[in-house]
Amino acid sequence: MMVMQTKNVRRRRAALAAALPGCQPAGRVELQPSVAALTGKGASRLSHTGNDAQTITTQLLTGPAIAASLDGIASLRLAIFREYPYLYAGRREDELGYLRIYAEARGAFVMTVTDSGTLAGAATGIPLCHEDRQLLAAFAGASHAVDEIFYLGELLFSPAYRNHGLGLRLLAEVEEHVRSLGSYRYLTCATVVRPASHPLRPPAYLPIDRFLARTGFAALAGVTTSFTWLEIDGVKRDHPMQFWLKALR
């Protein structure tokens, strides 16, 4: 569930989106506003069993309201994606360039999870049709219509907030939001494929496949791509990526 893209991504995404029927060009912003509470009654509260004194709040952002959240999400990505299996040595300016699409593409969203005002986690999503040409090409052989698929860009929590059920809860809120948009039947995401023998794999590492299988995603046979990024050892490598799909009910 991650994408590292640097060059001309916005231009390619916009051109492609403009060419696809049923898909608005990226760059057109939401006419509707922007900061909506997930429950409609104020920001929703996810339970966090680690410390009862903490107040965990989720917020759904759409359109231009997303822009103010992007620096914080870039910080989360830069820290979390240094971990195995990503090992990503990102640069803030590239992150901000990549993330800007969420503030610009129609239908995109960001969900932030804060703990007493501090960003603890986030999810991002965008209609698949606004994604970059390379990513879309992976779906050429898939039997699902691209304009019915919503792409989960990332779902991530700082280490202290993991394994308390927050991931499950946030994903459920993502699904509820995507269903409410009315025209998407599937959620997709991509994971990096690493050999089990990778030297930097921590002994207690839990493959993300477990979380995805637990939440109803299935790996899409033959729907793969590769992304290139600079790793923390200073070497730029190609990384095979596997797409997953979940039907929204």
Ligand X SMILES: CC(C)(COP(=O)(O)OP(=O)(O)OC[C@H]1O[C@@H](n2cnc3c(N)ncnc32)[C@H](O)[C@@H]1OP(=O)(O)O)[C@@H](O)C(=O)NCCC(=O)NCCS
d(CA 243, CA 249): 19
Both tokens assigned to 30: 């939401």
Pure H helices in 132-237: 133-137, 166-181, 208-214
Give yes or no for residue 118 binding ligand X (CB under 6 A): no
- The phi-psi region of residue 141 (left if phi > 0; otherwise alpha if psi is between -120 and 50; otherwise beta) is alpha
Instruction: Name the minimum Å distance from CB 206 to ligand X.
Output: 4
Pure H helices in 143-194: 166-181
CA distances from 159 to 83, 91, 166, 199, 201 (A): 10, 21, 12, 21, 16
Give yes or no for residue 168 binding ligand X (CB under 6 A): yes
d(CA 27, CA 34): 16
Instruction: Name the minimum Å distance from CB 18 to ligand X.
Output: 28
d(CA 228, CA 6): 10
Span from 38-46, 164-172, 225-233, 237-245 in contact with ligand X (CB under 6 A) = 164-172
Span from 13-21, 142-150, 166-174, 217-225 in contact with ligand X (CB under 6 A) = 166-174
Out of 7, 210, 236, 249, name the contact with ligand X by CB under 6 A.
210
Span from 93-101, 132-140, 206-214, 235-243 in contact with ligand X (CB under 6 A) = 206-214
- 30 or 154: CB nearest ligand X: 154
Pure H helices in 42-183: 70-80, 92-104, 133-137, 166-181
Give yes or no for residue 164 binding ligand X (CB under 6 A): yes
Q: How many residues bind ligand X (CB under 6 A)?
A: 20
Please enumerate in sequence order all residues whose Cβ is within 8 A of that of 236, keeping only pairs 6 or more positions apart, or say none: 228, 229, 230
Give yes or no for residue 208 binding ligand X (CB under 6 A): yes
Give yes or no for residue 214 binding ligand X (CB under 6 A): yes
Span from 14-22, 39-47, 58-66, 157-165 in contact with ligand X (CB under 6 A) = 157-165
Out of 82, 162, 185, 201, name the contact with ligand X by CB under 6 A.
162
| Ramachandran angles phi, psi of 103, nearest 5° | -80, -15
Interacting residues with ligand X between 81 and 100 (CB under 6 A): none
Give yes or no for residue 243 binding ligand X (CB under 6 A): no
Contacting positions for ligand X (CB under 6 A): 1-2, 80, 154-157, 162-168, 206-208, 210-211, 214
